[in-house]
Amino acid sequence: MAEHFERLESILGQISGFMYPNEIELHWGLLVVLYPYITGLVAGAFILASLERVFRVKEIEPTYRLSLLTALAFLLVAPLPLLAHLGHPQRSFEIFLTPQFRSAMAMFGFVYAWYLTVVLLLEIWFEYRADLVRWSDSERGLKKILHWVLSLGSRDLSPEAVAFDQKAVYTITVIGIPSAFLLHGYVGFIFGSVKANPWWSSVLMPIVFLFSAIVSGISLILILYYVTTMIRRKPLDMACLDKLSEFLLYALIIDLSLELLDFIHRLYESEESIKILSELIFSKLFISLTIVQILLGTIGPLVLLAVARFSQLPAELKRVTYFIAALLVQVGIFSTRWNVVIGGQLFSKSLRGLTVYKLELGGMEGLFTSIGLLVLPFLILFVLIKLLPPWEEARAEKPLVE
Amino acid sequence: MRIWKFPDQVVRLGILLIVAVIAMVVIRDQFVPESFGELGHYRADAIISIENQPIRYAGSIICLECHDEQGEIKSASYHRTLTCEVCHGPATAHAEDYESQLPVVERDSRTACLPCHQYLPSRPTGFPQIIERLHNPPQPCIGCHDPHDPTPPEVPGSCAACHAQIARTKSVSHHVQLSCETCHETLPDHLQSPRSFRAKRPTTREFCGRCHGAVSDTAPTAPQVDIASHGDRYLCWQCHYPHFPEG
Amino acid sequence: MPREYERREILIKLMELPCSALILSVCGLPDAEASTETLQEARAESLYGMGIQVDKCIGCGSCVAACKAENDVPEEPFYFRTWVERYVIYDDGRVDVDSPEGGIHGFTPNQEDGADVLRAFFVPKLCNQCDNPPCVQVCPVGATFRTEDGVVLVDSDYCIGCRYCIQACPYGARYLDPRTKTADKCTFCYHRIKQGLLPACVEVCPTQARVFGKLTSRASPLRRMMRMSELQVLKPFLNTEPKVYYSKLDGEVR
């Protein structure tokens, strides 16, 4: 604890202006930045999958199952940064026992459980069921057992059953779209409903969160599709990449418009908080907001994508540009989450001072833990891909009935 | 298997769901704390544990049970509104075990009184304040001021003892020639109970007019104005700060 | 494609959540409050509030020290249940606000003389024990709550340490106790007031800048202050309905 106090002492020395004495300790750190980032990826990946299934965008079919598995891998990791951040993670089940329904955070338990079970797991199950049956029939050993368990002992491969599966997937996806909105939107509401904080309190917050989620999800799938296809030494489906980048572009445009709207609205209304917030943007958040989030993370990729998608560049150059744009988007969206969460705590609620955020390297709230938590979903995804291969060639022989 | 025409998949999932719901209900029943919900959405027992927190400040009444002598002295002094514990620290422990749990008693300090009496512009005007480095160094405070009856050894010669900031402001203005009593008629009771017996203030323009309306013997060089018309309908001090009229 | 499957499938999906909710509610979600009658009785008995007369505060910091001593608050200057802010407003409009270690050791002069000072004063701050508390609203588990006598308390055996309440408080009144890793804040010295004593900060205030009492009682120092002064609360536009009333509060105070 002495270390903790030392850190707080040094923060004390770096405060400019006046902070309430209890505000010296910044309460929501890097771990809380991770949570909206991860759930955003989940929601975005799922929305992309729904584009294929519900809106019948056939070009992105190669990414459909991959999107589902990605969403699952990240969703499984999503509660971990929250648990790590809690003062008493062992009491976290209280959210399920006695949720205080007026709190947006209490919704976490239910929205998460609903999304994980009724949307993701159910959809993956119905999508893979026929294959699971066939795989468990034709395999041996551990894989056979695992696939049999996952199929819940189901054996029915009749055309009616398979058709039912397809219908179920469609229905679940339709339900899943608003559920994905809810999963990430409520996180936006957690921040947007805090009237005490003028940086967070905004009607636009859930919407902005949602669209940055869609942007980050699409770009993640683009990256994953690119990387996994390269690793498997298969040809990249250019039509698929073109379509992904198109959607990414449109989503980026909407995202940028929303951010601009928020910015212009604040400047125009010029409420009391504008002075300290301007100071915040131009001092503490200058690099992470203006440079990383806006320039590198939104405008840069927007230009790259527009040029690459609608120009006559050769395919190899196009897809590298897409890839770079997608990477930049990831950095930009992470920065967006950082600017919201950390940015909102860098100024005093007295509107008279600014403080600093000291990022530790080690410890529960440290950089290394967060890096680990960001790597973990990819490891889980690796396991899921091994268990439930999403590739075209891995599907069992008998074609599915449409 | 199919039950009631539900497809096989739905049956299997349904079984899973029922098991999960039952598990949830059972767990919930087991683990929600007993007193939760009795008074509201919280554990009612929490109120009991908060109420049972130990008490550390006893209150003057307890102190006076034994220390009535000091209490009596204090009750008529400037410090009568202070509790014993604001200087001597929390005393419940002492009240329960008076020999081993001794309260704080500052004797040789020149700093113990400063948190209240060091001059700060933010303190209310009229509150007795000193500038420590100018005020009789290096004597300890209690050398001249009995903490239970801190009346200064000499009755303050001037209002400046409590109203030092005003005195300092006035001292660099032309009004330095004026004593406080010139404008502020003050009862001696003001020294005893300042907020209850406040100093009087002039109420009319003519008051200032005694020097500034017609050339007088006491202030031959005072700037002259037509008292009846100067300054519209405002009173003099609504524009001119009397303690520093040049500013 | 047979339509029956589709219909049943949708029906089942639609029924899953309400069924769970139904079962859960039958087995007992926590009840709402006790009967209205007992509530009204309790309310009629005591609704606590505090009054602060800003023009009387001398910035000695005794209240801050007493609070920490009485309530076992960590000594480090990052955890305060109450604190004192000093405001110095200069002729040119500049406003200097500070609260060195919450004011626990009083204040030292930050300038030699008050020559160019227009107004200057001290403002004690603490949890406002709001009647519409945003901190209670956001607690996900019900670990912080408002008692019927108007005091907002924290159940540190139930708090999970998510810190949402700390974010939601507009007044900066809450902190996370580093020892228990739970949220904490001023309780109006609930353990004292239930025994008829005064909160520690009110007890030690040398100038009676702080007054305490029941809002429902006709005879208390608080009542007199409320009658004789124009009252203000902090951040009224947030509709938190604070129960700490300030008289002579300057417009510069946030």
Averaged pLDDT for residues C121-145:
97
- pLDDT over threshold 50, residue B5: yes
pLDDT tens digits, one per residue of A303-319: 999 999 888 889 889 99
B108 belongs to a structural domain = no
DSSP structural state of residue B130: B
Predicted pLDDT of residue C34: 44
Which has the minimum average pLDDT: A157-171, B65-79, C26-40?
C26-40
**Per-residue pLDDT at C191 exceeds 90:** yes
Q: Please state, rounded to an integer, the average pLDDT across all residues of chain C.
A: 87
Q: Which one-letter amino acid corresponds to residue A367? A: L
pLDDT in tens, A2-56: 889 999 999 999 999 999 999 998 999 999 999 999 999 999 999 999 988 888 8
Kindly tell me if the per-residue pLDDT of A397 is higher than 60.
Answer: no
Question: How many angstroms from the chain centroid is the CA of residue A292?
Answer: 18
Give the model's pLDDT for residue C10.
Answer: 63
pLDDT one-digit tens code per residue, A218-270: 999 999 999 999 999 999 999 999 999 999 999 999 999 999 999 999 999 99
Return the structure tokens found at A300. 């840069």
pLDDT bracket for residue C1 (50, 70, 90)? very low
pLDDT for C41 beyond 60:
no
Lowest mean pLDDT among A104-108, A324-328, A375-379, B210-214: B210-214
C77 interaction partners in chain A (CB closer than 8 Å): 12, 21, 24
pLDDT tops 80 at residue B111:
yes
Q: What is the pLDDT of residue B112?
A: 87
Task: Note whether C95 and C252 are within 8 A (CB).
Answer: yes
Pairing of strands C244-247, C48-53: parallel
Burial of B183 (0-12, 13-18, 19+ CB in 10 A): middle
Alpha-carbon distance values, B196 to A125, B163, B172, B187, B239 (Å): 82, 16, 30, 11, 28
Q: Quick check: bond before B138 cis, omega within 30? A: yes
CB–CB of C121/C87 below 8 Å? yes
Residue in the block written with tokens 């988007």: A329
> What's residue A130's pLDDT?
86
Q: Could you tell me if residue B150 is inside a domain? A: no
Per-residue pLDDT, A23 = 95
> Taking residues B201-230, what's their average pLDDT?
85
The token duo for A106 is: 């209490």
Check whether C25 has a pLDDT greater than 70: no
Percent of chain A past pLDDT 90, that is, above it, reads 74
Q: Where do the domains of chain A lie?
A: 17-394
* Inter-residue contact B235 to B205 (CB < 8 Å): yes
Q: Which CATH number does the domain A17-394 belong to among 1.20.1630.10, 2.70.70.10, 1.10.10.10, 2.40.37.20?
A: 1.20.1630.10
pLDDT at C110: 77
What's the CA gap between A148 and A136, in Å, rounded?
5
* Domain of residue B239, residue span: 165-247
Asked whether residue B228 is assigned to any structural domain, the reply reads yes
Which of A59-63, C125-129, C205-209 is least confident? A59-63
C-alpha pair distances (Å), A47 with each of A122, A183, A213, A218 = 16, 12, 9, 8
What average pLDDT score do residues C87-102 get? 93
Those of residues 31-90 in B touching chain A at CB distance below 8 A are 31-32, 36-37, 41
Taking only residues 88 to 107 of chain A, the set having a beta carbon closer than 8 angstroms to any beta carbon of chain C reads 88-89, 91-92, 94-95, 97-100, 102-106
Segment B152-178 shows an average pLDDT of 83
Instruction: Give backbone dihedrals phi and psi of C7, rounded to 5 degrees, phi first.
Output: -65, -45
Q: Evaluate whether residue B126 is within a structural domain.
A: no
Q: Which of A25, A105, A114 sits opposite C138 (nearest CB)?
A: A105
ipTM: 0.91
Do the Cβ atoms of A156 and B8 come within 8 Å? Answer: yes
Mean pLDDT of B216-227: 82
What is the residue-wise DSSP string for A115-169? Answer: IIIIIIIHHHHHHHHHHHHHHHHH--HHHHHHHHHHTTT-----HHHHHHHHHHH
Q: Give the position of tokens 């683009």.
A: A222
Select the residue of A17, A24, A194 nearest C78 (Cβ to Cβ). Answer: A24
In this predicted structure, which of A291-300, B11-20, B215-224, C5-14 has the lowest mean pLDDT? Answer: C5-14
For residue A243, the SS3 value is helix
Backbone angles phi, psi at A135, to 5 degrees: -60, -45
Percentage of residues in chain A with pLDDT exceeding 70? 98
| Predicted local distance difference test score (pLDDT) of residue A362 | 87
State how beta strands C48-53 and C210-214 pair. Answer: antiparallel
pLDDT at B139 over 80: yes
% of residues, chain C, pLDDT over 90: 74
DSSP string, C132-198: S-HHHHH-SSS-EEE-TTS-EEE-TTT-----HHHHH-TT---EEETTTTEEE---TTHHHHTTTPP
* pLDDT, position A111: 92
Q: Which residues contact A87 (CB under 8 A, 6 or more apart)?
A: C159, C160, C161, C162, C163, C176, C180, C181, C182
Kindly state whether residue B144 falls inside one of the protein's structural domains: no
C97 contacts A350? CB cut-off 8 A: yes
The 3-state DSSP composition of chain B as helix, strand, coil percent (nearest 5) reads 40, 5, 55
- Average pLDDT score over residue span B117-138: 87
Residue C200 φ/ψ, nearest 5 degrees: -60, -40
Name the domain count of chain B. 3
CB of C82 within 8 A of CB of C125?
yes
Q: Do B7 and A161 touch (CB under 8 A)?
A: yes
pLDDT score, position B247: 73
pLDDT given at position B29: 86
Domains of chain C plus CATH, in order, are 48-254 (3.30.70.20)
* Chain A contact present for B5, CB below 8 A: no
Average pLDDT over residues C45-54: 92
Asked whether the beta carbons of C48 and C188 are under 8 A apart, the reply is: yes
What does the pLDDT read at residue B43? 94
**For the segment A133-176, what is each residue's pLDDT rounded down to a tens digit?**
888 888 888 888 888 888 888 888 888 888 988 999 999 999 99
Considering only the beta carbons, identify the residue of A98, A129, A161 that sits closest to B36.
A98
Taking residues C115-123, what's their average pLDDT?
A: 89
Summary mean pLDDT of chain A: 92
SS3 B6: strand
Cβ <8 Å between A100 and B41: yes
Residues B26 and B71 in one domain: no
- Asked if C97 and C51 count as a contact pair (C-beta separation under 8 A), the reply is no
Burial A212-235 (b: 16+ CB within 10 A, else e): bbbbbbbbbbbbbbbebbeeeeee
Answer yes or no: do A98 and B41 touch at CB < 8 A: yes
| The pair of three-digit structure tokens given for residue C13, joined into one six-digit string | 């999906």
Check if the beta carbon of residue A138 is closer than 8 Å to that of residue A131: no
Average pLDDT of the residues in C124-136:
97
Q: Which of A86-95, A152-161, A274-283, C124-133 shows the lowest mean pLDDT across its residues?
A: A152-161
User: Regarding predicted confidence, which is higher, A194 or B29?
Assistant: A194
Taking an 8 Å cut-off on Cβ atoms, the answer to whether A98 and B32 are in contact is yes
Q: For position A400, what pLDDT does the model report?
A: 44
C-alpha dist (Å) from residue C80 to B122, C84, C125, C175: 22, 10, 10, 7
Check whether A194 has a pLDDT greater than 60: yes
- C9 vs A21, A167, A196: nearest CB: A167
